[in-house]
Structure formats: C-alpha cells, structure tokens
Amino acid sequence: MATISKLEPKTQHHERNPGLPYNPDAVEDIHVNLSAVERRASTLGGRRTVKKQHQAAWLLKAVSCIDLTTLSGDDTAGRVKRLCAKARQPVRPDLLDSMGMADRKLTTGAVCVYHTMVETAVDALSGTDIPVAAVSTGFPAGLSPFDLRIKEIKASVAAGAKEIDIVITRGHVLTGNWKALYDEVKAFREACGDAHLKAILGTGELVTLRNVAKASMIAMMAGADFIKTSTGKESINATLPVSLVMIRAIRAYEEMTGFKIGYKPAGGISAAKDILGYQIMMKEELGHDWLQPNLFRIGASSLLGDIERQLEHHVTGRYSADFRHPMA
C-alpha cells in the first residue's frame, strides 16, 4: 500500500479574537443573495472530487477536526470514557500502519459533553492534548435564566473544559435586537476566561440566510473564537448554503480585523462523502489554514465510524460491517 501524504501538525496557534465595539452599521449593511448562495453550494460536489490516497488523506484530516460528541439524556460515565478512548485512537492501528501513518499520533480535535461529564472526560483524556468542550448556557434552547447560564460556563471551565459551546438566544435574532445579542455573547466570552468560546447560532431556527450572516458577524464582534451552525437538536442543522454564508462572514471579519475565526458545522453530518464537501468549501473560500483543527471543527459522532469504514475500503478494497468500527 502506498503511503498517503503526511498530515499537517495537529495544532497551529493563532491570536485569539478580542472582538470589536458594537457597530450597528456593520450589521445593517449585510445582504445575502439566496439564489447565488444555493447555486454555489450545489456545484461543489460536481466541480471538486478527491479519489484514492488523496481522499484517504482528506478523511484523516477530517478525523483530526472532529469534536467527538455525546449529548444524550442517558449518557453515563462509562459511555464518556469509551468515547474518550475512541478520541485517543480514532482509527484502528492496523489501518494507520497500512497507510504509513502509524507514527502520526492521530486523535480527534476534541471531545464534547454536557457539563456533568466534563470531569470524567478530563480524567479520561489525561496525558493527551485533546481538549474537552462543554455545551453550556442552557443547551440546546438557551432559555435558562441569564445568571445561571453564566454560572454554568464558569463551572465547566473550573471543571477543566478548555472550550465552551454556548447557544445564543435566537429570539434576539428573530426580533432584530442585535445589541442584546452582542451583549449576551460578550458576557459569555468574559465568563469563559482562557477557555475558547464557540457560539452556536441554531441556524435552522433563524429563518433567513441574512439573519444567519448578521448573527455570525455579531457573535464575532462580541469575541467568539468559533461560530457553529447548530446544536444538533433542531429539525434543520448544518447545510452547505448556511455554511457558505457563515464562512464568508468569517472571511469578511478577517478582512476587517485581521483575526481568524474558526468554523464548526454540526448536526446531521454522518457520511464521509458529506464532510468532503465541507472541507472543499473551507479550502476554496478561506484557504489552507481553515483545514486545521484550530480553525475547523466538525460536531459529530457517527461520522467517525463511516470515515473509518471508508479507510478500511481504501486499504483492503472491501467494505466492512458497521460493527467493526464501534463508537462508544
């Protein structure tokens, strides 16, 4: 088996986003051409493809960007520990060895859990540089009392979470109360301290792509380190058109400030062929830096199993049964 291209280093450090003073004009000037967005997103699959060892390399890169997630009401410490074991060794060693990647120490980008499981995950990941991300601020609705949302962030940081996935109040977007949204995200960022803040917009509930673009800009102005599509609990989660709008907002913010903001699609991404579309979009719209886990994350769980299955097909020429690639 020919050796595939080597992965880039797992992390590349960049200066955190300090945010900007609230500027209503920057939001009011935002417009979105719906037909152009849909046309651009629909052409990706036919215009760009990667095959064979190149596809395997892209899929291994995707593994390094996954926020391996369990957010179920029946989560247990045992389930979280198994998930963390998978994060440490996301692809079977024999497959990595066959691809010449055994020495690369491949892991997922993070493990994402509810607050009550943060300490369990931190302990299970001890000795690695895999961060624990905690969903917070009344996830998934984001409608708990404001002071409790602030306390929840601080509690997760104190428990060892290095990343906090907050949810915005979608009502602020739907009523055009941009200053309230700015103040909310800014307060969440301050509560995070040194932990990185990933702002979940709940795009499936924002009605229009223009609202998505405006909410993205406000979250970045307020200091978000990442913007994220969805909680995974909405009826509509990550889509390519929504992603295009959000990453062009990221590009506009970088052009305006010089600061790079990360992007995280989440919810409904379960097939290896689907994540390739997101990666290609990131590469074409934002460039190589946004293929690295410090600027690109994928909220998923079952996606990892399908990627590993595709990698086994790359190595052996045969598709294996799903049970050969357990998640937790």
Catalytic residues: 165, 228, 264
Kind and range of the H or E element at 59? helix 52-64
CA distances (Å), 243 to each of 30, 146, 219, 225, in order?
A: 16, 28, 15, 16
Calculate helix-pair angle for 302-316, 52-64, nearest 10 degrees: 150
**Assign residue 127 a region: left if phi > 0, alpha if psi is -120 to 50, beta otherwise?**
left
For residue 20, give the nearest of 261, 294, 296, 263 by alpha carbon.
Answer: 261
DSSP helix/strand/coil, 1: coil
Q: How many CB atoms are closer than 10 A to CB 15? A: 8
74 with 17: CB under 8 angstroms? Answer: no
